[in-house]
Amino acid sequence: MIRAERPLRSNFQPGTSRWAVRRAQWRALGLSEEEMARPKIAIVNSSSDIAICFAHLDRIAAAVKEEIRAAGGLPFEIRTTAPSDFILSAGRRATYILPSRDLIANDIEVQVEGPQLDGMLLLASCDKTLPGQLMAAARLDIPAIAVICGYQASGRMPDGSHVDIEEVFLHAGHVAQGAMSPERLTEMTEHAIRSPGVCSGMGTANSMHSAAEALGMTLPGAAPVAALSAAMWDQARAAARRIVAMVHEDLRPRRILTPAAFRNAAAVVLAQAGSINCIKHLQAIALEAGVDIDLWRLFAELGPRVPVLTAVRPIGELSIEAFEAAGGARAVMAELGDLIDGGALTVTGRTVAETLAGHRSADPAVIRPRDNPFATTPAIVILRGSLAPVAAVAKVGLPRPGRPRRHRGPAIVFDDPAAAEAALSAGRIGPGAVVVLRGQGVRGGPGMGGASRLVFALDGAGLGAEVAVVTDGQLSGLVNKGLVIGEVQPEAAEGGPLALVHDGDVIAIDIDSGRLDLEVSPETLAGRARGFAPPPPVTDSGWLSIYERCVTPLSAGASLIDRARSR
């Protein structure tokens, strides 16, 4: 019989009720006495037939089960909801997307904490799976390790030009404005995706995969990786062996998820010009881990100090394959040098400094050294001002001639994305305007509606460089078009200044000074505020209703931790 190196919480006292009924269940499953004494490992799997992001996870789950058994563990596969942004966005104005993250965390809590399993192997895929999994790991604080299950292969059009899901998403907005034919878009959809896995650009999924490595929650060298590649299989099997050892060592997430770890993750996201969505996900994970840190302030603090060392699509022209070959997140961390806290612990049981020893970029043209970056100004900018007293965020990209960094113009206000797109099609949005799309925040959505379709439609109409967008909604991690300010806090539904904007009010945006201001007198705003009434609930039943009533403000990670305690 395998004896645990320390007492396991899953090994109940013989003769007790919970021991007896569980033993009866597990004997009926064919488990032996010896197997039932092993460390019990949850394989957290979001497999689904509904999206290509998850289509390969069952194969990975089967392989890591074998490896866990060989390492002396007892694997149990559990399933969670499987959110793909491009699939879930069809219903309820795309508001199921962010709330799916918290549903994943709660799925895991029920299925791991209920039976008192000993550890978790997290199969990370599309955008919301890894943040939800890490939130659960931090909440439950049992040994956990993330397995990066890889990015999809993008394609080529018959004329040899590159095409991926980002370009399909972007050009759908062009079709809506008559700038591309539906036939051409259809042809793009035929060739954009060539394998399972997450979007191939530096969108939210690949950004969060790198952030997880920087947090210390993956094996070194895990991100990014091509789905079903030899490197992915090696990482998955090594992680399966490691999680059994972590249970014996009692190496828990809250020893790893420290303030230093979150600083490292923020530095890597900035250096990779990653997705702005990482900020709220990292904030939610920190909250679950009991770490008192303001990620928006951290990004604002580190932004001017952390150079941009790589330029993967959509921020630049580099491919994710080239980035992986150059060393990925581990090489970025190594090149950042003293901007990374080497004393932080990782799932290996070693420090970050130990895991980075001897590693540098394998291709300085893809991952550059600090003294020759792609940019010294941040690609992600946190703004504050009279229109965003708490924060707002912009993905401004690399400095380029003609790319706007300031804008001052009259507001044209919409409370619904469809109304904004209709106004654009009717020619009611012209150069110089600031399009305000409000009521899209975590409560107003509920769950943060997206503004990306509007942004792409503006680009298709030739107004991307001439019209600014300001919204309390979220933006796709692939968005990199025009001057777009997202996640304005406080949101309109909470009575933030965005709720008080009228058509024609002048809004001033200054990226270099980090300002977002509404040029309306305090007296006028005070009068408008007295007339503000919170909007009625958007939903009256179901998951979104629960989310709407319980979700914290974005500044607290948009989580479901008690709203009163989060303020």
Q: Is 17 a catalytic residue?
A: no
Give the DSSP H or E segment for 102.
helix 97-108
CA–CA distance, 405 with 398 (Å, rounded to integer):
11
* Residues 76 and 42: beta-carbon distance below 8 Å: yes
pLDDT band at 479 (very low <50, low <70, confident <90, very high): low
CA proximity to 100, closest of 114, 115, 117, 87: 87
pLDDT at 351 over 50: yes
* Burial (0-12, 13-18, 19+ Cβ within 10 Å), 390: middle
pLDDT, tens digit, for every residue of 246-297?
Answer: 999 999 999 999 999 999 999 999 999 999 999 999 999 999 999 999 999 9
Give the distance between the most distant pair of CA atoms in the chain: 77
SS3 content of the chain, % helix, strand, coil (to 5): 40, 15, 45
pLDDT at 563 over 70: no
pLDDT at 481 over 50: yes
Question: Using CA atoms in the order 326, 327, 328, 333, what is the torsion angle rounded to 10 degrees?
Answer: -120
DSSP assignment of 246-279, as one string?
A: HHHHT--HHHHSSHHHHHHHHHHHHHTT--THHH
Task: List Cβ neighbours of 540 (8 Å cut-off, separation of 6 or more).
Answer: none
Q: What are phi and psi of 495, to 5 degrees?
A: 85, 20
Give the DSSP H or E segment for 549.
helix 542-550
CA–CA distance, 275 with 268 (Å, rounded to integer):
11
CA–CA distance, 94 with 97 (Å, rounded to integer):
6
In whole numbers, what is the pLDDT of the chain averaged over residues?
94
95 vs 145, more confident:
145
CA atoms within 13 A on the CB side of 198: 30
Secondary structure (3-state) at 518: strand
452 vs 257, more confident:
257
| Active-site residue identified among 361, 476, 555, 559 | 476
Taking residues 401-424, what's their average pLDDT? 92
Query: What pLDDT, on a 0 to 100 scale, did the predictor assign at position 2?
Result: 43
Residue indicated by tokens 């797109």: 421
Least confident of 33-42, 387-396, 451-460, 509-518: 451-460
pLDDT, tens digit, for every residue of 218-238?
Answer: 999 999 999 999 999 999 999
pLDDT band at 181 (very low <50, low <70, confident <90, very high): very high
In this structure, what token pair is assigned to residue 421? 């797109």
**Distance, CA of 211 to chain centre:** 9
Q: Positive or negative, the Cα torsion across 488, 490, 494, 497?
A: negative
* Burial (0-12, 13-18, 19+ Cβ within 10 Å), 354: middle
pLDDT at 448 over 90: no
* Residues 39 and 118: beta-carbon distance below 8 Å: yes
Q: What percent of the chain has pLDDT over 70?
A: 97
Secondary structure (3-state) at 120: strand
CA–CA distance, 123 with 118 (Å, rounded to integer):
17
Running DSSP on this structure, what letter comes out for residue 447?
Answer: S
Taking residues 56-64, what's their average pLDDT? 98
CA–CA distance, 279 with 383 (Å, rounded to integer):
13
Running DSSP on this structure, what letter comes out for residue 318?
Answer: B
pLDDT at 50 over 60: yes
Give the DSSP H or E segment for 320.
helix 320-325
Query: What pLDDT, on a 0 to 100 scale, did the predictor assign at position 166?
Result: 86
- DSSP bridge partners of 384: 515
* Residues 245 and 71: beta-carbon distance below 8 Å: yes
pTM (two decimals): 0.95
Query: What pLDDT, on a 0 to 100 scale, did the predictor assign at position 564?
Result: 44
Asked whether the bond before 446 is cis by omega within 30 degrees of 0, the reply is yes
Query: What pLDDT, on a 0 to 100 scale, did the predictor assign at position 3?
Result: 44
Query: What pLDDT, on a 0 to 100 scale, did the predictor assign at position 439?
Result: 94
- DSSP bridge partners of 193: 154
CA proximity to 148, closest of 366, 376, 347, 441: 347
Which ranges in the chain are annotated with CATH 3.50.30.80?
A: 380-566
Secondary structure (3-state) at 241: helix
Least confident of 158-162, 281-285, 333-337: 158-162
* Burial (0-12, 13-18, 19+ Cβ within 10 Å), 293: middle
Query: What pLDDT, on a 0 to 100 scale, did the predictor assign at position 478?
Result: 60
Q: What are phi and psi of 7, to 5 degrees?
A: -60, 140
Yes or no: domain 380-566 corresponds to CATH 1.10.3720.10: no
